[in-house]
Amino acid sequence: MARDRDLEAIAQAIVTPGKGILAADESMGTIKKRFDTINVESTEENRRSYRELLITTQDAEKHISGVILFDETARQKTAGGVPFVQVLADKGIIPGIKVDKGAKALPFAPGEKVTEGLDGLRERLEGYAGMGLRFAKWRAVIKIDVDNGLPSEYCLDANAHALARYAALSVEQGLVPIVEPEVLMNGPHTIDDCFVATEHTLQRVYEALHLHRVPLEQTLLKPNMVLSGDECPEQAGPKEVAEKTIACFKRTVPAAVPMAPSARRPAFDERAFRARLGDSAPLFDKVVRLFLDDCPGRMRAMRQAIDAGDGEALRAAHEGHASYLPPLPDDWEYKPWIKHKKRKWDRKLAKELHPDLECDPAEREKKSRVMQEITAAYARGDLHALLQLELEWARWNERRRGSSEPR
């Protein structure tokens, strides 16, 4: 009974209002694709330092309730030797783990997939619980193809069974299972087609969870929204999406189930990003490309325009996001803008870090070291090292300003 209450408390803590889940569970292949867009090699150390940058972010616990880790990440440590799982727990963030082995082709079902990973799962979950991980995640993918009758009953049953087996084993080993049956948005289907497929999927999943005797209060659901397919000529608006998504959940999701906040990366907000980093962001374009790697349509066009140095294409893509990007002036040109940003950063860098402008010998030595490290990081194209150096210098300046103020 005590463990039951603990799991229910963990599930409720993960869905704390105002907080969300950080998905840091990219597979080796996925993280390599993202690093390739910024010309950073996907080495174990680069992956480790990138994840360390995420989980050690100051005040992250104010906004993040849990972090989903990949097996490699769950076993890694900070540069100071502290396990990532311990870092998260010390900050009050609940550490979790992705345990599925990915979606593979479903036999005799062209175009459909089933998620694998049940073999040896009990032992893996036992090991993860011993490492201090407190929840798990398993994702199934469901494709809509109205012309070919997809999703099939066969596909729904296979994935619902796998999700239920995983959930039962997770609870048995003391981990809260996040159940994620994702109906994909890829295709020309309408929002009504998505409603039917999502409703049918969730019905099958909860039938399977009931048959496997999974206590729903100790689980979380991470659902998809009910949307028009990304190739549908008539896209449903936000109001219709919200109404149909809620209506679908009311029909299918038992009241005992806590709903998991979305672990997706949000749409990239350039204005907010600039406001936080200001002019001390020499890696702006590289970070943009990292964030936009998975974004659809116009946002991907922005990344391609930046890569090509095509000012007209960037302006066209930019205008598609005028709702949250600052407007461009009529006489704006791409190349002078890039040169202006670089020149502005170079002046700021020279002013703040040039050792010859520092009278204090200790500070001169520190600035010399930082300048050398920045130069070396630029030469390597090491995104992680540059970001860490910028953060280190910004925090040092903040502490120095604070110490100089009258108390």
Catalytic, 180? Answer yes
Of residues 35, 26, 68, 50, the one with CA closest to residue 262:
68
Q: Clarify whether 222 is annotated catalytic.
A: yes
Distance, CA of 25 to CA of 97 (rounded, Å)? 8
Query: Can you tell me the distance from the alpha carbon of 155 to that of 132, in angstroms, rounded to the nearest whole number?
Result: 34
| H helical segments located in 131-283 | 153-172, 191-211, 238-252, 270-277
Angle formed by the axes of helices 311-319 and 334-353, nearest 10°? 90
Give bridge partners of residue 103 from the DSSP assignment. 115
Q: Is the peptide bond before 17 cis (omega within 30 degrees of 0)?
A: no
β-bridge partners, 220: 178
Task: Tell me which amino acid residue 165 is.
Answer: R
Angle of helix 311-319 relative to helix 297-308, nearest 10 degrees?
Answer: 160
The one catalytic residue among 26, 112, 180, 199: 180
Of 113, 143, 222, 286, the active-site residue reads: 222
Residue 205, CA distances (Å) to 163, 225, 261 in order? 7, 16, 19
Gap between the Cα atoms of 267 and 265, Å rounded: 7
- CA 150 to chain CA centroid, nearest Å: 28
Provide the annotated active-site residues: 180, 222
